[in-house]
């Protein structure tokens, strides 16, 4: 009986709380809160209700107050603050709240008209809608009922263009028409078809044509609910819209100022290959041949919108101009149908200096400052070449753990020269891409001192190309990528460590790498309005094959048991492949769900038995498995005691990793995240190292490490500071059936926190 009374009062309390939080308690007298609308369809035909409902829902006005499980907290805040709050707290409540949407503000008659209009636009020409207000206590909703029929379908499309030249141009791409017989009528498709035809005509010289000059006439007289479409021209069209225009003079001003007027009149001119350059030859900053590689508008050629856009985009992507404008005007020649083109370019600062200072904190307790200085020259040899002189230096030390006071420092000078073209000994056909290909030559030297361990010097030279197919697809090919590393001043502790671990020793022996690599990037994040975005990075790398081929021709057969040398060093021979695939699901409230899958495999062969240390796969850290210290997971079931070895972690030949992260807004530029990571690295079965367990398809799932955590990010667009606190859920180095450690979680225990909680501090998102 007592329990029944408690339940009764609990139910009443919950109802009162819900009523209060719903905001209906403070409504004006006689008013009711609008809670939304519902659309119903009445029809005897078989229709696609889901698609039609999705379209008609966009007609519903206004939006009701946001609710969560029947509770409207924002409305409650607004109503609690009162009509005209005087206190700061009351004003704060009002600002954070949401004004009530009342049924009196809803206009069902207007909405039914909009619903019918949207139905008409998708081929439901004879529909009519009605509305009904349903009241309940302090709330009210509207039910709209639409009486509809099956949409009309397109029977055929007839081209009735009165201008013969225009008609023949349109008919050349008739097969590309967006209007297909048998498909439902849709007004948006007709609009897009006009835009498609306009683009076609613009690329064929019809500079002054406009999509509004095209008219679709619809015949709905057929009894079988089919329509015939006829494409015609409007009755009154300007003469210039039906004229094919050619390019006459092309004026180029590469040093234009926004304060200037008519540059063609006030500046000297220089003629070069049928182009007119404005200004004195001695004052030209970039050679004409370099500019003309990006100019696709040529004298006497038919105007093309595509060539217009290519010219504009390629000139901007050179990196030497902060403003580019292409202006057209009717030429004053005696013949009609000619355009003069003026290309105006405002140069950016030729040289720039940049300095960066960072404080780096790693999950393996190494902390320290990092400095980067760079000087950029954007026009080194008057050919728009980018010369980047860079000097980086860092110092890091471990202030806690078993390796307390262990430190290292490094410095890394680098010079990179980038040419705005393919720099090859043969001719490459000019492409129609809007992006300029780049050729880079990079030379760098790196010195790193690990105190009490070794000194490492690395020389690297890269010769490669970067080019884009379109806004989504990018390629990078480095046919020459050579690096040579030498290790000196090896301490007794380091020598002893290598002697006790042959795999690590072998990884540090083969430090001469000569090969090439290729990467392909597909990125839909360049389209911010896309709800689901995909990202793919695929890379391939190989090394040592040219040297081994030369040895074979010379009668020597390289092998890992008796490895060959070049310039006194053992060279690496391997092939390496990896795929980084990501999916981004964007919610309406700007929250985001991100999934990532990474798979990589490396295969040493010929002259090598192991991958060089710098080419191995690692797992763990701020951009990997965040519940584990950096590079500390694997290989396989091997346990890496990071505290005892500092930075000399072991890598693997194979890596698999899956990450999931939900990112949400907290307040303005402060974002939150919940995430889970799983993965590991393995050695291949044929690898002679007896470390951990080799990769086997039948058992690798049982050796996966799993971690989870939460994060806070300070995201101010140009800078993202990330704090991720994570912990392991599964440790693959433990005995089987004891690898899940969720039952050991104890946040109150300081020893558990010290051994399991990992704070990752990083710049930028992990993926």
What CATH number did the domain enclosing 289 receive? 3.10.20.310
User: Are 109 and 7 in the same domain?
Assistant: yes
Of 54 and 370, more confident: 54
Mean local confidence (pLDDT), 340-351: 91
Residue 213 pLDDT grade (very low, low, confident, very high; cuts 50, 70, 90): very high
Mean pLDDT of 471-482: 95
pLDDT on residue 643: 55
Query: Residue 332 domain-assigned?
Result: yes
pLDDT for the residue numbered 10 = 47
Instruction: Cite the beta strand spans of 4-48 per DSSP E.
Output: 33-42
Residue 25 in any domain: the answer is yes
The number of distinct structural domains making up the chain is 3
Query: So what's the pLDDT on residue 13?
Result: 42
Query: pLDDT for 619-656, tens place per residue?
Result: 998 899 999 988 889 899 988 876 545 456 788 999 99
Q: What angle do CA 740, 644, 721 make, to 5 degrees?
A: 70
74 and 122, same structural domain? yes
Please indicate, yes or no, whether residues 122 and 34 belong to a single structural domain of this protein. yes
In contact, 589 and 637? CB cutoff 8 Å = no
By percentage, how much of the chain surpasses pLDDT 90?
Answer: 56
Q: Which residue has the higher pLDDT, 650 or 307?
A: 307
Q: What is the pLDDT of residues 6-27, one digit of tens each?
A: 444 444 444 444 444 456 677 8
pLDDT band at 4 (very low <50, low <70, confident <90, very high): very low
| 409 or 149, greater pLDDT | 149
- The answer on 122 and 46 residing in a single domain is yes
Q: Is residue 759 part of a domain?
A: no
Per residue, the 3-state secondary structure of 641-665, as one string, reads CHHHHCCCCCCECEEEEEEEEEEEE
pLDDT of residue 14: 43
Burial class (CB in 10 A: 0-12, 13-18, 19+), 2: exposed
Question: Does the structure show a pLDDT above 90 at 112?
Answer: yes
Domain co-membership, 339 together with 231: no
CA distance linking residue 533 with residue 538, whole number of Å: 17
Pairing mode of beta strands 246-253, 338-347 = parallel
Domain boundary among 217, 242, 267: 242
Q: What is the pLDDT of residue 409?
A: 84
Rounded Cα gap, residues 624 and 763, in angstroms: 14
pLDDT value at position 201? 97
Q: Tell me the pTM.
A: 0.82
- In this structure, is residue 89 part of a structural domain? yes
Find the angle CA(717)-CA(720)-CA(723) to the nearest 5 degrees.
150
Q: Residue 296 is part of which domain span?
A: 246-347
Angle at 663 between CA 658 and CA 669, to 5 degrees: 140
What average pLDDT does range 460-477 have in this prediction? 94
Tell whether the model's pLDDT for residue 302 goes beyond 60: yes
323 and 346 Cβ atoms separated by less than 8 Å: yes
Percent of the chain at pLDDT > 70 equals 92
CA distances from 165 to 158, 172, 304, 496 (A): 17, 11, 16, 84
Q: Indicate if 216 and 277 belong to the same structural domain.
A: no
Select the more confidently predicted residue: 405 or 438.
Answer: 438
Confidence at residue 121, expressed as pLDDT on a 0 to 100 scale: 95
How confident is residue 553, by pLDDT bands cut at 50, 70 and 90?
A: confident
CA 60 to CA 67: how far, in whole Å? 17
> What pLDDT, on a 0 to 100 scale, did the predictor assign at position 19?
45
Angle between helices 108-121 and 49-57 (to 10 degrees): 130
Sheet strands (E) in 315-363: 321-330, 338-347, 351-361
β-bridge mates for residue 132, sequence order: 143
107 lies in the same domain as 214: no
Answer positive or negative: Cα dihedral of 105, 107, 110, 116: positive
Spatial CB neighbours of 715, under 8 Å, sequence gap ≥ 6: 669, 670, 671
Both 272 and 327 in a single domain? Answer: yes
- Looking at the predicted structure, is the pLDDT value of residue 45 above 80? yes
Residue 410 domain-assigned? no
CA dist., res. 654 & res. 665, Å (int)? 36
Q: Are residues 219 and 321 in the same domain?
A: no
Assess contact for 184 and 122: CB atoms under 8 A.
Answer: yes
Task: Provide the pLDDT confidence category of residue 1 given band limits of 50, 70 and 90.
Answer: very low
Q: What mean pLDDT value characterizes the chain?
A: 87
Does residue 101 share a domain with residue 126?
yes
Do residue 275 and residue 233 come from a single domain?
no
Q: Domain boundary residue among 84, 117, 147? A: 147
The last residue of a domain, from among 242, 269, 288 = 242
Check whether residue 10 and residue 121 sit in a common domain: yes
Report if residue 47 sits inside a domain.
Answer: yes
Give the model's pLDDT for residue 118.
Answer: 95
Lowest mean pLDDT among 89-98, 287-296, 307-316, 494-503: 494-503
The neighbour count for residue 281, using CB atoms within 10 Å, is 10
Residue 397 lies in a domain: no
User: Is 382 domain-assigned?
Assistant: no
Instruction: Kindly report, residue by residue over 697-754, the tens digit of the pLDDT.
Output: 888 999 999 999 999 999 887 778 899 999 999 999 999 889 999 999 999 999 999 8
């Amino acid at each position: 009986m007592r329990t029944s009374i408690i339940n009764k009062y609990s139910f009443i309390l919950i109802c009162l709380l819900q009523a209060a939080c719903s905001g209906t308690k403070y409504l004006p007298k006689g008013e009711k809160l609008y809670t939304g609308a519902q659309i119903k369809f009445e029809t005897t035909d078989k229709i696609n209700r889901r698609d039609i409902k999705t379209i008609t829902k966009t007609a519903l006005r206004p939006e009701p107050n946001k609710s969560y499980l029947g509770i409207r907290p924002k409305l409650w805040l607004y109503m609690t603050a009162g009509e005209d709050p005087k206190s700061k707290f009351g004003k704060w409540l009002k600002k954070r709240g949401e004004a009530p949407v009342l049924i009196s503000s809803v206009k069902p008659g207007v909405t039914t008209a909009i619903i019918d209009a949207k139905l008409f636009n998708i081929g439901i020409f004879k529909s009519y809608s009605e509305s009904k207000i349903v009241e309940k206590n302090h709330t009210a909703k509207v039910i709209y009922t639409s009486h509809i029929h099956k949409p009309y379908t397109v029977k055929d499309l007839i081209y009735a263009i009165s201008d013969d030249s225009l008609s023949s141009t349109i008919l050349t791409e008739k097969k590309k028409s967006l209007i297909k017989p048998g498909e439902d009528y849709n007004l948006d498709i007709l609009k897009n078809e006009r835009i498609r035809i306009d683009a076609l005509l613009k690329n064929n010289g019809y500079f002054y044509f406009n999509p509004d000059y095209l008219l679709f006439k619809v015949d709905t007289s057929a009894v079988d609910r089919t329509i015939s479409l006829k494409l015609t021209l409007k009755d009154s069209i300007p003469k210039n819209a039906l004229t094919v225009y050619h390019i006459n003079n092309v004026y180029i001003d590469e040093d234009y100022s926004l304060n200037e007027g008519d540059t063609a009149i006030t500046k000297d001119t220089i003629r070069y290959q049928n182009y007119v350059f404005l200004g004195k030859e001695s004052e030209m900053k970039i050679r004409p041949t370099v500019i003309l590689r990006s100019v696709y508008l040529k004298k006497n050629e038919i105007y093309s919108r595509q060539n217009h856009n290519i010219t504009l985009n390629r000139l901007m992507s050179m990196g030497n101009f902060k403003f580019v404008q292409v202006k057209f005007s009717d030429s004053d020649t005696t013949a009609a149908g000619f355009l003069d083109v003026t290309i105006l370019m405002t140069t950016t600062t030729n040289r720039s200096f940049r300095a960066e200072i960072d404080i780096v904190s790693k999950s393996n307790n190494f902390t320290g400052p990092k400095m980067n200085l760079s000087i950029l020259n954007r026009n080194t040899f008057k050919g728009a070449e980018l010369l980047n002189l860079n000097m980086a230096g860092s110092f890091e030390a471990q202030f806690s753990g078993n390796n307390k006071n262990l430190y290292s420092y490094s410095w890394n000078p680098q010079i990179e020269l980038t040419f705005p073209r393919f720099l090859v000994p043969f001719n490459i056909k000019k492409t129609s891409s809007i992006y300029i290909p780049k050729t880079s030559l990079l030379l760098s030297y790196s010195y790193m001192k690990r105190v009490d361990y070794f000194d490492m010097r690395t020389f690297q030279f890269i010769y490669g190309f970067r080019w884009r197919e379109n806004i989504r697809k990018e390629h990078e090919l480095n046919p020459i990528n050579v690096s040579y590393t030498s290790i000196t001043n090896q301490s007794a502790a380091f020598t002893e460590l290598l002697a006790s671990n042959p795999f690590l020793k072998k990884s540090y022996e083969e430090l001469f790498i000569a090969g090439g690599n290729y990467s392909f990037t597909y990125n839909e994040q360049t389209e911010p309005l896309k709800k689901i975005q995909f990202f793919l990075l695929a890379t391939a790398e190989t090394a040592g094959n040219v040297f081994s081929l030369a040895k074979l021709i010379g009668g020597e057969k390289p092998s890992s048991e008796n490895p060959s040398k070049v310039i006194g060093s053992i060279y690496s021979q391997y092939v390496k492949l990896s795929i980084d695939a990501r999916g981004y699901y964007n919610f309406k409230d700007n929250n985001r769900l991100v999934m990532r899958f990474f798979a990589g495999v490396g295969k040493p062969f010929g002259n090598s038995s192991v991958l060089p240390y710098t080419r191995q796969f690692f797992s763990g850290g701020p951009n990997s498995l965040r519940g584990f210290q950096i590079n500390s997971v694997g290989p396989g079931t091997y346990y890496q005691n990071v505290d005892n070895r500092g930075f000399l972690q072991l890598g693997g030949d194979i890596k698999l990793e899956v990450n999931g992260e939900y990112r949400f807004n907290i307040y303005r530029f402060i974002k939150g995240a919940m995430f889970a990571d799983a993965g590991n690295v393995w050695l291949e079965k044929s690898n002679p190292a007896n470390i951990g367990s080799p990769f086997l398809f039948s058992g690798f799932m049982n050796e996966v490490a799993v971690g989870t955590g939460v994060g806070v990010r300070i995201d101010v667009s140009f800078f993202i500071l990330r704090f991720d606190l994570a912990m392991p859920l599964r440790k693959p180095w433990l005995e089987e059936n004891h690898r899940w450690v969720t039952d050991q979680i104890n946040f109150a225990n300081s020893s558990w926190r010290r051994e399991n909680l990992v704070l990752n501090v990083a710049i930028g998102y992990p993926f």
